[in-house]
Amino acid sequence: MILYITEQGVVLSKELGKLIISKQGDTINEIPLKKIEKVNLMGNISLTPQILNYFLENKIEVVFMTQYGKYRGKLYTNEYRNVILRLKQYERSNDQSFKFKMAQSIVIGKLRNYYDFLSNKSKNLPRGTISEEIAALRKIIEKTRGSTNIEQIMGLEGIGSKYYFQGFAKLFKSDEFKFEKRIAHPPKDPVNAMLSLGYSLLYNEIEAAMNAVGLDPYLGNLHTVDISKKSLLYDLTEEFRCIIVDNFVINAINRNEFTVNDFEEKEEGIIHFTKDAIKRFIDKFEERLNSKMKYHLDDEENYIRTIFEKQSRHYARVVLGEEEQYTPFYRK
């Protein structure tokens, strides 16, 4: 069982074989410890030393996030490190032609998913609604194929994303949700709040997959290597953003699963989920992660979490030189 704690001021403690969730002395819930696979803590939550020790001893992953889902850190136990793979990663991080090829694949993959996504959605829209954006994306993908350096690729990625979000903004059926452009931190409208939380949950999943494979999330290709920046994590998330998160957000809104009343203005101009809505969002997002899709490299139906892991393994094989070309995930 994956546990999310969104209720503020809660205390997690251990009593015999149970995790006790309490608030101001009252037990809200109790769960047999062996049922717990992963714990996500959002905001102001306390852990007793006993439960903390249990999580450490049993290698239960505990992720710390802000109340609104922004990643803060993790309780690290013995993270799996594949030393040979990591050495190769360090070596590759100085290999400019490898980094260039990788960055190019990643950005083409991301833009291609954008292109497929918009093309697909345009079938249900009045003719020509987003044809400008689709055509622009096609052109930018071509340019990326012909690019010669990473700076150029990053520039093209920026332009491509701009066109994509311009098209994305036109996919909302109701006028209730106004989306002008992607603003990451802090979100200034409900759609950006949903995207931010979705991406944040997605990062957690991809990082877990990378840890399972033994990759170092700090050594990437496209995003520059920076102190305390998990550039590979960002790299490998690119291809999934639109398929996993954007699609989910647009469907949730167009099916009226969320309304503007599910959001409130906290500080000046910053929009957040209400307490109840954040739980609903996580619940539906988890449901999405527990559904299946076809993995593009072997045509097998897999749980989405398995796809994240398969894709990390694929990346690792390319790093080790066992495979020639990295192929970002796409929907067949």
Partner 1 sequence: MFFVISYDVVDDKRRKHLSDYLESYGVRVQYSVFETELNQSQLNQLIKGIKKRIKADEDTVRVYPIAKDLREMIITIGTNKGQFYDKDVLIV
Q: What is the contact surface with partner 1 in residues (CB under 8 A)?
A: 1-7, 10, 16-18, 21, 28-29, 31-35, 279, 282-283, 286, 290
- Phi/psi for 31 (5° steps) reads -135, 130
If the CB atoms of residues 18 and 143 are measured against partner 1, the closer one turns out to be 18
If the CB atoms of residues 139 and 280 are measured against partner 1, the closer one turns out to be 280
Residue 185 CB, nearest approach to partner 1 (Å): 24
Residue 179 CB, nearest approach to partner 1 (Å): 26
Distance CA 39, CA 244 (A): 21
Report the interhelical angle of 96-122 vs 131-145 (nearest 10°). 160
Residue type, 135: A
Residue 252 CB, nearest approach to partner 1 (Å): 16
If the CB atoms of residues 28 and 135 are measured against partner 1, the closer one turns out to be 28
If the CB atoms of residues 170 and 288 are measured against partner 1, the closer one turns out to be 288
If the CB atoms of residues 2 and 225 are measured against partner 1, the closer one turns out to be 2
State the DSSP code for 154: H
Number of H helices, E strands in the chain: 10, 12
3-state secondary structure of 298: coil
Residue 15 CB, nearest approach to partner 1 (Å): 9
Residue 141 CB, nearest approach to partner 1 (Å): 37
Do residues 190 and 271 lie in contact, with contact meaning Cβ atoms separated by under 8 Å? yes
Residue 51 CB, nearest approach to partner 1 (Å): 12
Q: How many whole angstroms from its chain centre is CA 39? A: 17
State the DSSP code for 262: G
If the CB atoms of residues 20 and 297 are measured against partner 1, the closer one turns out to be 20
Q: Which token pair is 134?
A: 């689709």
Do residues 289 and 247 lie in contact, with contact meaning Cβ atoms separated by under 8 Å? no
Residue 30 CB, nearest approach to partner 1 (Å): 9
Name every residue whose Cβ is closer than 8 Å to that of residue 301 and which is 6 or more positions away in sequence. 292, 293, 294, 295
Name every residue whose Cβ is closer than 8 Å to that of residue 303 and which is 6 or more positions away in sequence. 289, 290, 291, 292
Do residues 100 and 304 lie in contact, with contact meaning Cβ atoms separated by under 8 Å? no
Distance CA 8, CA 3 (A): 15
If the CB atoms of residues 95 and 283 are measured against partner 1, the closer one turns out to be 283
